[in-house]
């Protein structure tokens, strides 16, 4: 039997696609118009072509960070595009302290964030302001300066300063990607998408995904571009993969949170873990059970490994994407290492170790496969999947000629 067709543990598949520009509303701010926030594209004051991607890039990254910080209802980019096309206005380069309140009111935003950047040689500077649109009051302002290759960390500094100035919590930020090339390719693709050049958008989104296979946004961009190209099969494929990637990201965050919690913990004390009430927890679980599965960290890691395996399988089957598949397998191994080092005595650990066997088989690492089998047979003789371990051990011996 081909290794690619070998049986795997049953994996849950989520049905909801990740949202590219998420709206995050926390607590009592949900109905407060004054906390509705919009971020305009940044003005490229030097006109530097190589850094032009930062116009949308800085705005979008700020949207993501401020949404994660909580307390804001974010006006999504698509709404900005629609409104400004109707008004025949530009989304950048035309905002100042006097015009910002009017533009904010056009967007029905209580707070408008706008700014500019300047790239010159070895220096990148970005400036941003947040204005209260009703009164025209400048709520806060921030500036950052550094090297162009530090653009992602500079954006996080800028976002943190704005969040603190607006009374939000930058500790809740999450990192979408650490890869500058992946971010650059993604936002260039976004420019092509907005311009209606969908085939070019696919090229840049695909490039971004290869540069950082676990960066979520390029996958959503691909799904959108395929919709415009009327390639509905590939659109469906990407939608399935995006749902898995979103579950992987959220489950990873739950596992690495300062305090691990199970579904039962969240039901019993929702406020402690950032939920409004038990009904909200239940509704989320019904929509995306994979994110809350696992009563212990090791059980949650096992569920995460299964999601990663599912995503890698679909990447190969749907798009022949060996890069993403290999990255998923690397992540399965990394999480196995984390479980073994963090919870060496956990009774569920054999399930996590067992996942290593699938990676070894996919990579035809017969020596590694043999060693893992011997460890499971020696250290966990009562393991429930021992029959499968024995079969794989015999397979490894045969491949090694032993």
Fold (CATH) for 32-174: Rossmann fold (3.40.50)
| Residue 32: its H or E element | none
Question: Domain extents for the chain?
Answer: 32-174
- Would you state the structure tokens that stand for residue 117, as one six-digit string? 């950047």
Distances (CA, A) of 30 to 75, 171, 236, 266, 359: 13, 20, 32, 21, 45
Give the position of tokens 């990607």: 177
Q: Among 302, 300, 312, which residue's Cα sits nearest to residue 251?
A: 300
Residue 37 CA, distance from chain mean position: 21
pTM for this prediction: 0.81
| CB environment 290-324: b (16+ within 10 A), e (fewer) | bbbbbeebbbbbbbbbbbbbbbbbbbbeebebeeb
Q: Along the 402 residues of the chain, how does pLDDT read in single tens digits?
A: 333 333 232 222 222 222 222 222 222 223 344 488 989 889 999 888 999 999 999 999 999 999 888 778 888 777 777 766 666 555 444 566 667 777 778 778 889 899 999 998 899 999 999 998 888 889 999 999 999 999 999 999 999 999 999 998 888 888 899 999 999 999 999 999 989 999 999 999 999 999 998 899 999 999 999 999 999 999 999 999 999 999 999 999 999 999 999 999 999 999 999 899 999 999 999 999 999 999 999 999 999 999 999 999 999 999 999 999 999 999 999 999 999 999 999 999 999 999 999 999 999 999 999 999 999 999 999 999 999 999 999 999 999 998
């Amino acid at each position: 039997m081909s290794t690619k067709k070998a049986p795997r543990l049953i994996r849950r598949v989520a049905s909801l696609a990740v949202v590219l520009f998420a709206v995050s509303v926390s607590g009592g701010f949900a109905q407060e118009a004054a906390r509705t926030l919009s971020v305009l594209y940044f003005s490229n004051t030097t006109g530097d072509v190589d850094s032009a991607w930062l116009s949308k890039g800085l705005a979008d990254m700020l949207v993501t960070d401020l949404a994660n910080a909580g307390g804001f209802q974010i006006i999504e980019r698509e709404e900005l595009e629609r409104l400004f096309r109707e008004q025949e206005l530009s989304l950048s380069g035309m905002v100042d302290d006097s015009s910002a309140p009017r533009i904010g009111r056009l967007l029905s935003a209580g707070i408008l964030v706008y700014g500019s950047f300047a790239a010159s040689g070895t220096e990148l500077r970005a400036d941003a302001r947040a204005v209260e649109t009703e009164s025209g009051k400048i709520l806060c302002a921030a500036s950052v300066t550094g090297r162009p290759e530090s653009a992602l960390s500079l954006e996080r500094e800028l976002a943190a300063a704005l969040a603190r100035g607006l009374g939000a919590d930058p500790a809740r930020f999450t990192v979408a990607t650490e890869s500058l090339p992946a971010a650059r390719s993604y936002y260039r693709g976004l420019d092509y998408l907005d311009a209606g050049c969908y085939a070019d958008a696919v090229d840049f989104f695909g490039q971004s995904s290869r540069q950082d296979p676990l960066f979520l946004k390029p996958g959503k961009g691909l799904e959108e571009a395929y919709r415009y190209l009327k390639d509905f099969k590939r659109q469906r494929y990407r939608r399935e993969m995006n749902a898995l990637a979103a579950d992987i990201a959220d489950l990873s965050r739950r596992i690495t949170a300062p305090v691990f919690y199970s579904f039962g913990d969240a039901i019993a004390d929702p406020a402690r873990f950032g939920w409004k009430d038990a009904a909200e927890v239940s509704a989320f679980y019904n929509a995306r059970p994979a994110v809350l599965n696992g009563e212990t960290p090791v059980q949650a890691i096992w569920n995460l490994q299964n999601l990663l395996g599912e995503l890698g399988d679909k990447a190969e089957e749907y798009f022949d994407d060996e890069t993403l598949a290999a990255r998923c397998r690397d992540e399965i191994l990394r999480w196995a290492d984390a479980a073994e080092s963090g919870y060496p005595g956990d009774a569920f650990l054999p399930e996590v170790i067992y996942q290593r066997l699938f990676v070894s088989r996919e990579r035809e690492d017969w020596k590694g496969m043999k060693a893992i089998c011997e460890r499971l047979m020696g250290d966990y003789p009562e393991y429930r999947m021992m029959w499968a371990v024995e079969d794989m051990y015999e397979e490894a011996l045969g491949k090694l000629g032993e």
